[in-house]
Amino acid sequence: MGDPTGEPGSSMHGVTGREQSFAFSVASPIVHTDKTAKFDLPVDTEHKATVFKLFSFSKPHMRTFHLSWISFSTCFVSTFAAAPLVPIIRENLNLTKQDIGNAGVASVSGSIFSRLVMGAVCDLLGPRYGCAFLVMLSAPTVFSMSFVSGAAGFITVRFMIGFCLATFVSCQYWMSTMFNSQIIGLVNGTAAGWGNMGGGITQLLMPIVYEIIRRAGASAFTAWRIAFFVPGWLHIIMGILVLTLGQDLPDGNRAALEKSGEVAKDKFGKIMWYAVTNYRTWIFVLLYGYSMGVELSTDNVIAEYFFDRFHLKLHTAGLIAACFGMANFFARPAGGWASDFSAKYFGMRGRLWTLWIIQTAGGLFCVWLGRANTLVTAVVAMVLFSLGAQAACGATFAIVPFVSRRALGIISGLTGAGGNFGSGLTQLIFFSTSHFTTEEGLTWMGVMIVACTFPVTLIHFPQWGSMFLPPSKDPVKSTEEHYYGSEWTEQEKEKNMHQGSLRFAKNAKSEGGRRVRSASTPPDNTPNNV
């Protein structure tokens, strides 16, 4: 039942909103709890926690969780810190609409690359240093807002700050060293959702900080620069906390990692091949660009939009914009939960329909947002849009773990990068030119979401079917073993390298839906046993 020795990095899949709705603890009898270990939480034989206690700070597991999501959230705060202050910054730096749009694109582009590199960094230095390095080395980029005097500087600094969003990777990686793979889905999903909330928190925080500094006597064009010191300090504080309070592994720090230096058990080239040649990977890259991607784009434009269109004060616009990002607190996990719920009755086909419905609904609400003419309708539309987009993120990663077992880490990474890429592209087309007003941009973005969600219909699993087609009738191809086994060559199978995939395939049978579940009687058919 799954691979209890989930190596660091192998559980990267667990970026789902929620894989099993009630998986607060591992119920399987096969995961042996280590009763001799002296931890506050019950642990397995690797000393990874088997229970997720949200309100505890117990060392080392829950402490890691909190350090991790807060650092990730801090990076969201600094990456989007400029957005609610744009009405002031644009006057100081004499920006045009194109400049503002380009800066928005730049802010999400940096992390496309940094996220891909971060995996390797975590392998080399461990997630604790990976996180601390990134957070503390990006603090100077946040402080350098004080030097910016024109469009070029603004765009460059936003680009550099954006690199720190790679803490997403260190966050998920670190969780997988601390939590058993059976609950890693919920843990990682909560960490990702709460991290994304930073994009909402910043819309509230920055205008308030700016207001306070102004009242203290600074002029407008200086006050916003001073305001950036706050996220800068948060970087330093979190970096130090991670270094002093965090540890790489349940038993201690890196010294122990030397023993498991067999991190590269599999060949990178092979994994890459299987990731890239699976057409489903690319559909998810596109899809995530229109759920997470539009969330990031909206984080960048929504405060300015409310400020300009409805003549609100800066902090009122910030408050409304904050509601968009803060909905992540429950919306992303809810999406994952909805996916799990539909899988109970309809298996993978249910998951696909759920994803399509939620993401398309989000797109329609986005269209409504662009067309809303009164403040009240705009706010309602925005909230519904946020629920749709963020739940779709959760629902996406409820399916991604099933696309591949062998190449799971890379596919998750590619999907994540696709989110940022989609964000950059959308901001470039709709929000950087004078061709569209912002409300037109939002409307067309909504249309694009609906259009780009359509490819979900093309995702077909021979063993489970797709939205419109039933599973294959071929007796060989319609098994889970065949699908996951096909990622290994005959030579590799002879060496039994594919055992992990076979175990996963057995557990994944629950994605066949209710008729399959009632036919089999295993005690715990949780798919998150990677």
Partner 1 sequence: KPSREGAGVVLDAGIDKISITWKLSSTGSKKEAEFKTIKVKLCYAPPSQVDRPWRKTHDELFKDKTCPHKIVARPYDKTTQSIDWILERDIPTGTYFVRAYAVDEHDHEVAFGQSTNEAKTTSLFSVQAISGRHKSLDIASVCFSVFSVLALLVFFVNEKRKAKIEQSK
Residue 490 beta carbon to partner 1: minimum distance, rounded to whole angstroms: 43
Q: Which residues touch 55 (CB under 8 Å, ≥6 apart)?
A: none
In this complex, which beta carbon is closest to partner 1, that of residue 261 or of residue 475? 261
How many of the chain's residues bind partner 1 (CB under 8 A)? 42
Q: Are 275 and 411 in contact (CB under 8 A)?
A: yes
Asked if residues 159 and 109 have their Cβ atoms less than 8 Å apart, the reply is yes
Q: How many helices (H) and strands (E) does the chain have?
A: 23, 0
Transcribe 104-117 into DSSP letters.
HHHHHHHHHHHHHH
Minimum CB distance to partner 1, residue 175 (Å): 22
Residue type for position 145? M
3-state secondary structure of 344: helix
Rounded least distance, CB 159 to partner 1, Å: 17
434 binds partner 1 (CB under 8 A): yes
- 68: Cβ contacts below 8 Å, ≥ 6 apart: 131, 170, 171, 174, 175, 191
- Kindly state the smallest distance separating residue 116's Cβ from partner 1, in Å: 22
State the helix-helix crossing angle for 220-227 and 198-215, rounded to 10 degrees: 140
Structure letter (DSSP) for residue 470: P
Nearer to partner 1, 116 or 256 (CB): 256
* Min CB(142)–partner 1 separation in Å: 9
The answer for residues whose C-beta is within 8 angstroms of residue 422's C-beta and 6 or more apart is: 286, 288, 289, 290, 292, 293, 294
**Contact pick of 149, 277, 489, 520 for partner 1 (by CB under 8 A):** 149
Letters for 91-110 (x = contact with partner 1 by CB under 8 A, - = none) are xx-x-xxx------------
Residue 381 near residue 369 (C-beta atoms within 8 A): yes
Q: Which two tokens stand for residue 313?
A: 């004060």
Of 92 and 466, the one with the shorter C-beta distance to partner 1 is 92
Site for partner 1 in 308-367 (CB under 8 A): 308
**Minimum distance between the CB of residue 119 and partner 1, rounded to whole angstroms?**
20
**Which 8-state DSSP code applies to residue 252?**
B
Task: Tell me which of 27, 208, 236, 276 binds partner 1, using CB under 8 A.
Answer: 236
Shortest Cβ distance from residue 187 to partner 1 (Å)?
A: 26
When asked if residue 36 is in the footprint of partner 1 (CB under 8 A), the reply is no
- For residues 64, 69, 75, 80, the Cα torsion angle rounded to the nearest 10 degrees is -170
By CB under 8 A, the residues from 239 to 258 that bind partner 1 are: 239-240, 243, 253-255
* Site for partner 1 contains 144 (CB under 8 A): yes
CB of 145 to partner 1, least distance (A): 8
Q: Does 437 bind partner 1 (CB under 8 A)?
A: yes
Please check whether residue 391 is in contact with residue 10, taking contact to mean a CB–CB distance below 8 angstroms: no
Q: Which amino acid is at 303?
A: A
CB of 207 to partner 1, least distance (A): 16
Q: Which of 42, 87, 455, 485 binds partner 1 (CB under 8 A)?
A: 87
Which residue is listed with tokens 């559980």?
A: 11
The region of 27-35, 161-169, 223-231, 324-332 touching partner 1 under the rule CB under 8 A is 223-231
Choose the stretch contacting partner 1; rule: CB under 8 A; options: 49-57, 87-95, 275-283, 396-404: 87-95
Our finding on whether 453 is near partner 1 (CB under 8 A) is no
In sequence order, what are the beta bridge partners of 178? none
Does 374 contact partner 1 by CB under 8 A?
A: no
Using rule CB under 8 A, residue 520 touches partner 1: no
Within 13 Å, how many C-alpha atoms sit on residue 493's CB side?
Answer: 11
Among 82, 132, 186, 414, binds partner 1 (CB under 8 A): 132
The rounded distance, in Å, linking the Cα atoms of 269 and 342 is: 36
φ, ψ (nearest 5 deg) of residue 44: -95, -170
- Smallest separation (angstroms) from partner 1 to the CB of 504: 36
8 A C-beta contact, residue 228 and residue 145: yes
Minimum CB separation from partner 1 for residue 253, in Å? 7
Stretch that binds partner 1, among 5-13, 145-153, 154-162, 202-210 (CB under 8 A): 145-153
- Measured from the CB of residue 101, what is the shortest distance to partner 1 in angstroms? 10
Q: N- to C-terminal Cα distance for the chain? A: 9
- What is the smallest separation between the CB atom of 117 and partner 1, expressed in angstroms? 18
Among 55, 215, 217, 219, interactor with partner 1 by CB under 8 A = 219
If phi > 0 it is left, if psi is from -120 to 50 it is alpha, else beta; for residue 42 that is beta
Tokens of 149: 């005097």
Nearer to partner 1, 273 or 444 (CB): 444
3-state secondary structure of 49: strand
Give yes or no for residue 137 binding partner 1 (CB under 8 A): yes
163 binds partner 1 (CB under 8 A): no
Cα 304 from Cα 318, distance rounded (Å): 9
Among 66, 90, 115, 158, binds partner 1 (CB under 8 A): 90
Residues binding partner 1 (CB under 8 A):
87, 90-92, 94, 96-98, 129, 132-133, 136-137, 139-140, 143-144, 146-147, 149, 219-222, 224-226, 229, 232-233, 235-236, 239-240, 243, 253-255, 308, 434, 437-438
